[in-house]
Amino acid sequence: MTRNIPEKPSLEGLESKWGAVWEEDGTFRFDRTKTRDEIFSIDTPPPTVSGSLHMGSVFGYVQTDAHARYRRMSGKEVFYPMGWDDNGLPTERRVQNYYGVKCDPSLPYDPDWTPPAEPSDPPVAISRRNFVDLCHGLTQEDEKVFEDLWRTMGLSVDWTQTYATIDHVSQRTSQKAFLENLARGEAYSQDAPVLWDIDFQTAVAQAELEERDRGGAYHRVAFHRPDGTPLYIETTRPELVCSCVALVAHPEDDRYQPLIGSTVTSPLFGVEVPIVAHELADPEKGTGIAMICTFGDTNDVTWWRELDLPTRAVIQADGRLQETVPDWLSGHAADVYSEIAGLFANQARRRMAELLTEAGDLDGEPREIMHPVKFYEKGDRPLEIVTSRQWYIRNGGREDELRKELLARGEELHWVPDFMGVRYRHWVEGLNGDWLISRQRYFGVAIPLWYPVSDAGQVDYESPITPDFDSLPIDPTSHVPPGFDESQRGQPGGFVGDPDIMDTWATSSLTPQIAGHWVDDIDLFQRVFPMDIRPQGPEIIRTWLFSTTVRSHFEHGELPWHTATINGWILDPDRKKMSKSKGNVITPMPLIEEYGAEAVRYWACNGRPGVDTALDMGVMKIGRRLAIKVLNASRFALGFSDVDVDESAINMPLDRSMLAVLAQAVSTATSAFEAFDYARALETAERSFWEWTDDYVELVKTRAYEGGPDAESAHAALQVALSVYLRLFAPFLPFVTEEVWSWWREASVHKASWPRVDEFAGLTDDAAVLEIASRVVGEVRRAKSDAKTSMATEVTRVTLIGSAEEVENAKRAEDDILGAARAKSIQYVEGEFAVEVVLVEQ
RNA sequence: GGGCGUUUAGCUCAGUUGGCUAGAGCACUGCCCUUACAAGGCAGGGGUCGGCGGUUCGAGUCCGUCAACGCCCACCA
């Protein structure tokens, strides 16, 4: 092929130019005829499309892309799909805000309804189906934005292999896997207290909790013993005195031991409650004796369950205390309760403090404290505990045997970096319950079950009716179970559909099965599963990584992937974690426009695996400079000939020495990539390339311009080296390397083979030749710099003082040294290394 | 309260199994339009490798301990 080298190569426009070519040519299209051992499969994280774009999104994906490109060049067929996580609460919340709507499942579907032009305030109530339609529509727009970003960044995903966690295949996969879990007894439902978000009005799982420090106050409240003496407890939740079912102290606490088994009455309400003993009661906290309410915190749930206490719940799903007076209160107690009925917990708390004070049962002023309070990670108000029927998948939180098996999976998984495995272990060891997967929300995969209704009108939750696999996905609120018809919905002798959806993790825990088409293309699935790598962020080890492991363990009896590569956090330039709440999120597009996609990629690939990395425009500038350098150096290296020069021309010691040095770099970069250390591979290539341009290129210049066979050797060596450097950089700088490749090669550099050391067989000489030549020229440059003169200045005489070996090696590159030094002659003296330079005749 | 990670030049970071005067880029200083590159090149100044204590012929690297920062987990009395 004839070389076609532009006069003034530039980075401008390369992203769109090559993005279009790759799409057109199907460069990254997956070839499914390959077998499992020939394939490298990636369980790409589906980004939450309703979330904000920020540099954190770019960071990990680019690192993975670099690795994918390495594997592709190494001869693997890379299965690199892209998913969109559009399922679930984040999308619902975005739709609510974007259009000013809220979902009211009691409303009928209105096929003609269109969203208001401006977000409506207050929100318009719409039917569940209208609401879900809006979610679908908006997520498609959001997905487009992400796809554009990924394409601009040059991710080498196969864009024909995309999925969305709410699409047909995902729903089918999710429902089928759930039904399999149910059939094997791995999924079950239970009516029990759960952590509950009062704003979203849904149950939440342990994995979605976070604790936030909130102000509270210890209220020292008097209960009364039969003889009237007060017994003080301390509580931050005096509004729950009406829900108190017992007081609890540690069994070995001498202060309270004599009271165990006796009763006290609650203040204001006069309810008689027992004093019980349990190890969980901490003698150090408060007065050492605590009030057990149903339910103020997860401790209460434990005590209630283990001590078999009655239930006296007043907090409703909306977070308010119920309006009607509870049946365990009457007379004066009922009057007191009416003071707090219908209030939110925090309002009731203040009122109760006043009432307790009036009654003389509050000792002193409430004592302000800061304490950790459980929140739903996406929520704004503290979680309450509400009893409700929910679906669970076993995860070892309640069974030692399963927990051990899942811990063993964590050991079996190859973690990069390895210390990330500890986070998995700690999470599994710390689980305190099974995985709650049902959510009382709308936009998600339905729990594919109906329940029979008895002739007496009772719903039988213990005998769910399941759909046929072929009918999946189904929506039990609109589809009818086999053997029934719609008129029997909700009727005695009929059925009801489960109104709940599954949590988003219940579906995204199946991404290998979804991307690999487990439900509808088992041939493809077997070619890609178990996947090679799962790249992801550290914060979702407890959710995504763990839940995917659980599902695969149950469904396939093996790990879903061989290796998990965990990326670090992105910190803002002040080294603070970027988060929306801090308002320091930096979006990628402006940076890409300013520095170019390759500069941003360079920055991302400079972050070490798993290491938190600060956003640094300085690093991006270096990346941009490197890309420009690649263009210019390539122009030089290819500019001596119109066609390829035969490698057999490479016979000059300096050229062969350079190739020996280059072979070293190839070896190092390759082993770095094999260890998933893209950053070291980049650093190796970059350092080597920079030395190549600074030293070798300067040394060879004079000879390269002279013509003749010695020049041919240089031309061929430059060409071989450039071919290697372009391929070493291709995973990191896909656009500029492709551009240069196209000047003199037919196919894509991304389909070229990763450089191998055996390419240099027969082309190398002692690396020491280039090394000594570079040192001598370096000393000459220093002399010129010290003399404050141009590097073009002629040198009268150079004297190299060195060992016999150094002298010998220098002699083998003497003409090149003289040319680069602009020297007329060089003399050699044996001794300790030094270079004497005489600039002008003395 | 526990766990993990980080701490190396003013800034952002390398430093693979312990081994010669600790590296890079940015920033700073000086010089240079040298036929790939002046939105560049060349050269240079700058570091008690967080503190303390060990192991060793030798420690940025291994061990102990303390501190700061970050993240994760932990029963809200």
Instruction: Give the residue nearest to nucleotide B31 (CA to C1').
Output: A788
Which nucleotide is closest to the Cα of A696 by its C1'?
A: B36
Q: pLDDT at position A90, please?
A: 83
Which nucleotide is closest to the Cα of A621 by its C1'?
A: B26
Q: How far is the CA of A607 from the C1' of B5 (A)?
A: 15
| Weakest-pLDDT range from A255-269, A275-289, A465-479 | A275-289
Among A32, A178, A29, which residue's Cα sits nearest to residue A517?
Answer: A32
pTM for the model = 0.92
**Is the model's pLDDT at A469 over the cut of 50?**
yes
**Is the model's pLDDT at A621 over the cut of 50?**
yes
Which nucleotide is closest to the Cα of A250 by its C1'?
A: B77
Q: pLDDT at position A790, please?
A: 87
Taking the CA of residue A170 as centre, how many other CA atoms within 13 Å lie in the half-sphere pointing to its CB?
25
Among A831, A821, A765, which residue's Cα sits nearest to residue A795?
Answer: A821
Q: Which amino acid is at A326?
A: P
Q: How far is the CA of A388 from the C1' of B5 (A)?
A: 40
Instruction: Give the residue nearest to nucleotide B41 (CA to C1').
Output: A694
Which nucleotide is closest to the Cα of A680 by its C1'?
A: B14
Residue A585 burial class via C-beta count within 10 angstroms: exposed 0-12, middle 13-18, buried 19 and up: middle
Q: How far is the CA of A735 from the C1' of B39 (A)?
A: 20
Q: How far is the CA of A786 from the C1' of B44 (A)?
A: 9
Q: pLDDT at position A833, please?
A: 84
Confidence of residue A841 (pLDDT cuts 50, 70, 90): low
Which nucleotide is closest to the Cα of A690 by its C1'?
A: B24
Q: pLDDT at position A614, please?
A: 82
Which nucleotide is closest to the Cα of A287 by its C1'?
A: B77
Q: How far is the CA of A779 from the C1' of B19 (A)?
A: 27
Q: How far is the CA of A420 from the C1' of B54 (A)?
A: 30
Q: How far is the CA of A64 from the C1' of B24 (A)?
A: 24
State in Å, rounded, how far the first CA of chain A is from the last one: 53
Which nucleotide is closest to the Cα of A292 by its C1'?
A: B77
Q: How far is the CA of A780 from the C1' of B31 (A)?
A: 14
Which nucleotide is closest to the Cα of A234 by its C1'?
A: B77
Q: pLDDT at position A582, please?
A: 62
Q: How far is the CA of A576 from the C1' of B48 (A)?
A: 29
Which nucleotide is closest to the Cα of A286 by its C1'?
A: B77
Q: Omega of the bond prior to A590 within 30 degrees of 0, cis?
A: no
Q: How far is the CA of A834 from the C1' of B57 (A)?
A: 30
Q: pLDDT at position A580, please?
A: 62
Q: What is the mean pLDDT of chain A?
A: 92
**Is the model's pLDDT at A131 over the cut of 80?**
yes
| Weakest-pLDDT range from A499-508, A520-529, A615-624 | A615-624
Confidence of residue A410 (pLDDT cuts 50, 70, 90): very high
Question: What Å distances lie between residue A229 and A186, A222, A263, A264, A270, CA to CA?
Answer: 52, 9, 12, 10, 14
Instruction: Give the residue nearest to nucleotide B2 (CA to C1').
Output: A426
Comparing A530 with A595, the larger pLDDT belongs to: A530
C-alpha to C-alpha distance for A649 and A119, rounded to whole angstroms: 72
Q: How far is the CA of A536 from the C1' of B19 (A)?
A: 38
Q: How far is the CA of A111 from the C1' of B62 (A)?
A: 71
Q: How far is the CA of A682 from the C1' of B28 (A)?
A: 28
Q: pLDDT at position A842, please?
A: 47
Among A456, A450, A513, A512, which residue's Cα sits nearest to residue A483?
Answer: A450
**Is the model's pLDDT at A439 over the cut of 60?**
yes
Q: Which amino acid is at A119?
A: P
**Is the model's pLDDT at A352 over the cut of 70?**
yes
Instruction: Give the residue nearest to nucleotide B33 (CA to C1').
Output: A790
Q: How far is the CA of A6 from the C1' of B71 (A)?
A: 49
Which nucleotide is closest to the Cα of A603 by its C1'?
A: B12
Which nucleotide is closest to the Cα of A628 by its C1'?
A: B37
Q: pLDDT at position A576, please?
A: 66
Which nucleotide is closest to the Cα of A695 by its C1'?
A: B42
C-alpha to C-alpha distance for A535 and A522, rounded to whole angstroms: 24
* A89 neighbors A182 (Cβ within 8 angstroms): no
Instruction: Give the residue nearest to nucleotide B76 (CA to C1').
Output: A373
Q: How far is the CA of A185 from the C1' of B67 (A)?
A: 51
Residue A59 burial class via C-beta count within 10 angstroms: exposed 0-12, middle 13-18, buried 19 and up: buried
**Is the model's pLDDT at A536 over the cut of 50?**
yes
C-alpha to C-alpha distance for A265 and A656, rounded to whole angstroms: 94
Which nucleotide is closest to the Cα of A788 by its C1'?
A: B31
Q: How far is the CA of A189 from the C1' of B77 (A)?
A: 30
Beta strands in A572-724 (DSSP E): 613-614
Mean pLDDT (whole number) for A316-344? 94
Instruction: Give the residue nearest to nucleotide B32 (CA to C1').
Output: A790
Q: How far is the CA of A807 from the C1' of B57 (A)?
A: 33
Q: pLDDT at position A305, please?
A: 86
Q: What is the ipTM of this complex?
A: 0.92
Beta bridge partners of A315: A321
Instruction: Give the residue nearest to nucleotide B72 (CA to C1').
Output: A423
C-alpha to C-alpha distance for A41 and A80, rounded to whole angstroms: 6
**Is the model's pLDDT at A567 over the cut of 70?**
yes
C-alpha to C-alpha distance for A363 and A349, rounded to whole angstroms: 16
Q: Omega of the bond prior to A709 within 30 degrees of 0, cis?
A: no
Confidence of residue A579 (pLDDT cuts 50, 70, 90): low
Question: What Å distances lie between residue A374 and A201, A210, A371, CA to CA?
Answer: 15, 6, 10
Which nucleotide is closest to the Cα of A419 by its C1'?
A: B4
Q: A186-242: per-residue pLDDT in tens?
A: 999 999 999 999 988 999 888 888 888 788 889 999 999 999 999 999 999 999 999
Which nucleotide is closest to the Cα of A615 by its C1'?
A: B12
Instruction: Give the residue nearest to nucleotide B26 (CA to C1').
Output: A618
Q: How far is the CA of A59 from the C1' of B49 (A)?
A: 28
Q: A786-836: per-residue pLDDT in tens?
A: 888 888 888 988 999 988 999 999 999 999 999 999 998 999 999 888 888
Bases of strand B lying below 7 A from some protein CB: 2-6, 11-15, 25-26, 30-37, 39-44, 69-77
C-alpha to C-alpha distance for A625 and A602, rounded to whole angstroms: 10
| Weakest-pLDDT range from A43-57, A725-739, A786-800 | A43-57
C-alpha to C-alpha distance for A582 and A678, rounded to whole angstroms: 31
Q: How far is the CA of A245 from the C1' of B38 (A)?
A: 82
Report percent pLDDT > 70 for chain A.
98
Q: How far is the CA of A612 from the C1' of B61 (A)?
A: 21
